[in-house]
Structure 1
Amino acid sequence: MSRHKFPQDRPILVTCALPYANGPCHIAHLRTYVPGDVFVRYLRKLGQEVVFVCGSDTHGTPITVNAEALGITPRELASRYHRHYQEVFRRLNIIFDNYGSTDDPRNHRRTQQIVRTLMERGYVYPKEIEQPYCPRCRRFLPDRYVRGTCPYCGAEARGDECDQGCGRHLEPGELLNPRCAICGTAAEMRRTKHYFLRLSAFEDFLREYLQGLEGTSIARNYALQWVEKGLRDWCITRNIEWGVKFPGEEDLVLYVWVDAPIGYLSSTEEWAEKTGGDWRLFWKGRGRIIHFIGGDIVYHHCIFWPAMLRGSGYNLPWAVVASGMVRVEGKIFSKSRGYVIWVEEDYLEEGLDPDALRYYILSYTGHTKDLDFSWRAYQEKVNKELVGTLGNFLYRVLLFAHRNFGGIPEGLKDDEVKRTIEETIEEILLGLDEYEFKKIADSVLALSAFGNRYFQSHTPWKTLKEDREACSATIYNCLWIARALAVLMSPLMPGKAQELWEQLGEEGKVEEALVAEALSPPMAGRRLGRPRPLFKRASDEEIAPLIERVRERISKAQGS
């Protein structure tokens, strides 16, 4: 039996937290989607049966508030950003087996089925509560429609979360001094009927379940802290029109955090319909579910979601992989304060390399630590690591081989090269065990650094004249390292790995080559493709305007 967690004999479903279809993709999103994509690509290279799904989160008050301000319908706004995310993911080589939408009829049906089951089993019940109501706008004020004071820390807060202070989830009616977020009028409190999930009934179950939850420790430990403080029943309905209707109540829709995670299930159903697969294998059968999420939504994925699944008879997540937070230029990520990098506007539309951004996200720091995006740090990583180490080794070897041999020369396998590739594979497997993608990226870079040392120490430019057979053996083994790099870096930088694969004269797609292929040396006599540098230096002239753009954005946001 393997001492590593992967591959497994059970099929695996990997999901990424659904991007909220209320605005464009930003740098913080990528802490979830890039590692998720890389993880799935490595699993496939290990022969693991795996399905990868995601979709757009399209309901909730932020979308309705924004749509009203723009004079369009919530569906029009959500559809606009749904297409945006699909395109950005495609350009970044983040490839899902299915990318759905929580507004898809499948999700409406599955959400209502789960809620009905919870009601039948006594886990959902009605209750009259006091809710803030705006007499001027003449409507109840759920979530983003209301602002006020957090009852726990005294900070300015919105209706469902203390977003400026302690970060706690807030139940309807908890906010102190509520006022309408649209017109500013002081809210009145009026009684109205809502429905609650009996979350308190799942306390003992969650305590036991979380002890054995796989994934990152921050997900497990944060959730356990909340359980130990005691859980309160959770209001799961809202007085708005946009969303999934509560069964039998036309004036109520379900809170967005009810139907959003069910989007994982409905996206799996959509995948099954398209491919002939079986969604039940993951949600009712022997399959395992792994969620990749941001650190700010642990509560929803480790408390609410398992309770809903348990109560309605579905499989529970086997692992929750939560990332650290994101900073921009050393400051806490904040769209409102200007500390944001827009992936399309600031990166892709500038013609920058998608694989270089993937590499930065993966290699900057450990997965559970805070990632700081800085244009100068990006420039340094590209120039020192991608160009100076990885790119330098590959280009000098391929160019030397092409000029002096025309193809792959004869040679004997060097045990040191084989051992170093085996050690790299072991590091990658350990990285997958720990969900530590920096460990994986570092191991690939270390293999290229070894290749540089190997090339330099064997002085092929000298042996070419003095001992052509020795020179041939050196280049043969260097090309073996290059081939191994193509196979092993493919999940990290799929575009560049394919370019390298073709320069090596290999056929087909490198993404289809299993990890074990890295231990197979190249075929002597094969013609090489025309060598070209894989990576381009990030110049001061290129980076300076991007730094200035961030400064201007911050200055404008802060009114200075």
Structure 2
Amino acid sequence: MAPSEPPILVTCGLPYANGPCHIGHLRTYVPADIFVRGLKKMGEAPHFICGSDSHGTPIVVNAEERGTTPTELVTRYHDHFDEVFRRMGVEFDYFGNTDDPSNHRRTQAIVEALMEEGHVYPREIQLAYCPSCDRFLPDRYVEGICPYCSSPARGDECDQGCGRHLEPGEISEPVCKVCGSGAEYRTQRHYFFRLSSFSDFLVDYLQSLGGTTNARNYALEWVRQELKDWCITRNLGWGVKFPGSEDLVVYVWVDAPIGYISFTEEWALRTNGDWERYWRKPSRIVHFIGGDIVYHHCIFWPAMLKGAGYTLPSAVVASGMLKIDNKTFSKSRGYVVWVIDDYLEQGLHPDLLRYYLASYTSHTKELNFSWKIFAEKVNGELVGALGNFVNRAVTFTTKNFDRAVPAGELDPEVMAKIEGTVSLVRSALEEYEFKKLADGAMALADFGNVYFQGSEPWKLAKSDRDRCGAVLRNCLQIAKALAILLQPVMPGKMEVAWRQLGLDGTAADARFDDAHLPIEAGMRLGAPEHIFNRIDDSLVSKLDEIFMERIAAIDAKKGKKQGEEKMGTVKFEDFKSLDLRVGEVKAAEGIKGSEKLLRLLVDIGSEERQIVAGIAKTHRPEDLLGRRVVVLANLEPAKLFGVESRGMLLAADADGEAVLLAPDKATPPGTKIR
């Protein structure tokens, strides 16, 4: 096969080597594999690259909790994902690891190039620091409140609110995730990528970026707002060392996408290829990613490449999100389907899930998975329509024509239908619409069933053998086309169909254009067999039971933990150390930029204290004036949204609403609570 001009490189967002593979992962990898297989059927020569994302604080935290090392944890899950992809028929040309020496070298080279061009600079910043643990808290080591939408957030991302990337030092009310203590902000020198200077470039670049509109439009919306420079160093021992600084590593979202380049280098080294042909010269680079990492791939990544002088991606294809049984996907709540334990180890063929992921909905829309719908699609579409048609064509020919393809003219209507479907499948791939591909091919199977049924070959076998032979040859031609067109979606099952048709070579090697090459009369067919088997209700019940038992176990564990928390005790001496007083609110106002926080001036008897409280959504400032409240007066001062807070109001949490505590009768400010 002649090399593509320009050459094509397809990548997938790197699976994070911190836990097992679930079907949410496959929402990215299966469509990408379908795309690559489809390109090959159109005469292209793409290369398919991926690997494990092996750095970052979550891996360090997880390794610490498990009593193992980051290296051991990463190795375990790297091997796990490699196994899952192979079993699911996702065939990468190279599957690497961002902790490989080649990625360390390439990352440092790119960072040094950015520094030489003035795109990276040092700055003194405020970082969350845990006095109890005696260390700075990068990314997932710290949790708190998003400064933009006031939702609970992780240190690097507002994962429960606006979804915005958070820079170090931005999160409000920081808490150490390791020990649960309140954190404070301290000054440290870090390095920043001058992202703000790439705004004009990114607007022009994104307007011409190929792929899916959800990726392009989301990124443009952010770029047209003010872009902030991006802190690219972290206080960790695990990761790629920042050039010239042994106590800092580069942020994981720097070295992870650079893995696309280093993995290409490793592939080229093993195949005598040229990695620079893809990353230093004009090429077609297509990224398949999840919808939750658009910001990183469409803003940070192209700006880094531009600044360091590398080839820019030509398309970013972002998938929609996933639901399980119409519930928001959540590993912590049990709304998850694990690929090995829940699917492959239950004896289910990988192609059935590949078909479901491709055909359920448009690639950019939300996909819902349930075992009931899964079984309905398999039984109705794969068994009842596709498998039934191929089996009838092959079985009837075997029975009446001694396993030989009969002679007879191919019907122009049949050939036109096949050619039209080939054209539709090509356009579906170019539009990254895999449901359109699957639906188009299944419409051809439905056409075949109607053609077979309407032609009544069982009657023609007795009255007009030549006409019967022509009908069956047309049916086998449709079956051949289906095996070719659906091979990217169901590579294993379509090879079974190919062998039944007795065709030379493999379905994988056949091009789309071969679908309308006439099937040869007289050619011997293989032995007929059912390509797909029905999924019984009993199996659906078993799979649902596994799913529900997981949710029940998690709920029970949470209930037990909550019960343990309720039963916790403290010593009387510890309680006596709390300086609790009655206070009176003298002034109250909102804090600019925060929807949750209010700045209060509270009389606590001996003085008036400035206290920041997260009650703006439930209390109007004017309604608080003159109110008696309960104040923890000896709480360590903290800064929230840049405003110093010297105390805390006590409140009850009533279904997420703050109910302020107060004395039940008039009590002077400053009265001690004992």
Counterpart in the other structure of 2:527: 530
Counterpart in the other structure of 2:231: 235
Which whole-Å deviations, capped at 9, do the CAs of 1:268-294 have from their partners, x for residues lacking one? 111101111111111111211000001
Confirm or deny: 8 A CA contact 1:123 1:198 kept in the other structure. Answer: yes
Q: In terms of Rg, which structure is larger?
A: 2
Separation in 2, partners of 1:319, 1:77: 33
**Which 10-residue stretch deviates more, 54-63 or 331-340?**
331-340
Confirm or deny: 8 A CA contact 1:10 1:49 kept in the other structure. Answer: no
Counterpart in the other structure of 2:580: none
- CA shift, 1:552, in A, is 2.2
**1:452 aligns to 2:431 (yes or no):** no
Counterpart in the other structure of 1:391: 387
Separation in 2, partners of 1:243, 1:377: 42
SS of 1:310's equivalent?
helix
- CA shift, 1:397, in A, is 0.9
Q: Which of 343, 346, 353 in structure 2 is aligned with 1:347?
A: 343
- CA shift, 1:185, in A, is 1.0
Confirm or deny: 8 A CA contact 1:410 1:472 kept in the other structure. Answer: yes
Separation in 1, partners of 2:315, 2:554: 38
| Structure 1: tracts of 5 or more residues without a match | 1-6
Separation in 2, partners of 1:49, 1:342: 33
Q: Would you tell me which structure has more helix in proportion to its own residues?
A: 1
Separation in 1, partners of 2:114, 2:5: 32
**1:521 aligns to 2:482 (yes or no):** no
**1:359 aligns to 2:355 (yes or no):** yes
Give TM-score, length-normalised by structure 1: 0.98
Confirm or deny: 8 A CA contact 2:4 2:46 kept in the other structure. Answer: no
Which whole-Å deviations, capped at 9, do the CAs of 1:222-273 have from their partners, x for residues lacking one? 0000011110000000001000000010000011000000000111111101
- Structure 1 ranges of 4+ moved more than 6 A: none
- CA shift, 1:556, in A, is 2.9
**1:66 aligns to 2:51 (yes or no):** no
Q: Would you tell me which structure has more strand in proportion to its own residues?
A: 2
Separation in 2, partners of 1:9, 1:194: 42
> Which residue identity lines up with residue 275 of structure 1 in the other structure?
T
Counterpart in the other structure of 2:322: 326
Matches within 5 A, 1:309-324: 309-324=305-320
- CA shift, 1:151, in A, is 1.1
Counterpart in the other structure of 2:179: 183
Q: Which of 475, 483, 487 in structure 1 is aligned with 2:484?
A: 487
- CA shift, 1:189, in A, is 1.4
Counterpart in the other structure of 1:92: 88
SS of 1:193's equivalent?
strand
SS of 1:103's equivalent?
coil
**1:124 aligns to 2:149 (yes or no):** no
Separation in 2, partners of 1:396, 1:230: 62
**1:466 aligns to 2:463 (yes or no):** yes
Counterpart in the other structure of 2:78: 82
SS of 1:348's equivalent?
helix
Separation in 2, partners of 1:551, 1:28: 18
**1:501 aligns to 2:488 (yes or no):** no
Q: Which of 431, 437, 448 in structure 2 is aligned with 1:440?
A: 437
Separation in 2, partners of 1:242, 1:411: 69
> Which residue identity lines up with residue 380 of structure 2 in the other structure?
K
Separation in 2, partners of 1:281, 1:322: 25
The alignment-based identity, stated in percent, is: 61
Q: Which of 274, 279, 282 in structure 1 is aligned with 2:278?
A: 282
Confirm or deny: 8 A CA contact 1:206 1:303 kept in the other structure. Answer: yes
Give TM-score, length-normalised by structure 2: 0.81
Which structure is richer in relative contact order (CA contacts within 8 A, separation 6 or more)? 1
Separation in 2, partners of 1:508, 1:372: 37
> Which residue identity lines up with residue 473 of structure 2 in the other structure?
Y
Separation in 2, partners of 1:190, 1:430: 55
Which whole-Å deviations, capped at 9, do the CAs of 1:273-325 have from their partners, x for residues lacking one? 11111111111112110000011000000000000000000010000001111
Q: Which of 202, 205, 216 in structure 2 is aligned with 1:206?
A: 202
**1:417 aligns to 2:405 (yes or no):** no
> Which residue identity lines up with residue 96 of structure 2 in the other structure?
G
Separation in 2, partners of 1:341, 1:456: 39
Which whole-Å deviations, capped at 9, do the CAs of 1:398-427 have from their partners, x for residues lacking one? 111111112211111111111000010111
Confirm or deny: 8 A CA contact 1:483 1:521 kept in the other structure. Answer: no
- CA shift, 1:517, in A, is 0.7
**1:545 aligns to 2:510 (yes or no):** no
Q: Which of 16, 30, 38 in structure 2 is aligned with 1:42?
A: 38
Which whole-Å deviations, capped at 9, do the CAs of 1:187-225 have from their partners, x for residues lacking one? 121111110000001001001100100000000000000
- CA shift, 1:362, in A, is 0.2
Separation in 2, partners of 1:158, 1:555: 27
> Which residue identity lines up with residue 83 of structure 1 in the other structure?
D
Separation in 2, partners of 1:477, 1:274: 45
| Structure 2: tracts of 5 or more residues without a match | 560-674
- CA shift, 1:432, in A, is 1.4
> Which residue identity lines up with residue 502 of structure 2 in the other structure?
G
**1:161 aligns to 2:157 (yes or no):** yes
SS of 1:130's equivalent?
strand
Separation in 2, partners of 1:160, 1:350: 37
Matches within 5 A, 1:104-115: 104-115=100-111
Matches within 5 A, 1:224-263: 224-263=220-259
Which whole-Å deviations, capped at 9, do the CAs of 1:40-71 have from their partners, x for residues lacking one? 00100111121110000000011000000111
SS of 1:290's equivalent?
strand
Q: Tell me the number of residue pairs that the alignment of Structure 1 and Structure 2 aligns.
A: 554
Kindly report the root-mean-square deviation, in angstroms, between the aligned alpha carbons of the 2 structures: 1.1
Counterpart in the other structure of 1:15: 11
- CA shift, 1:8, in A, is 6.7
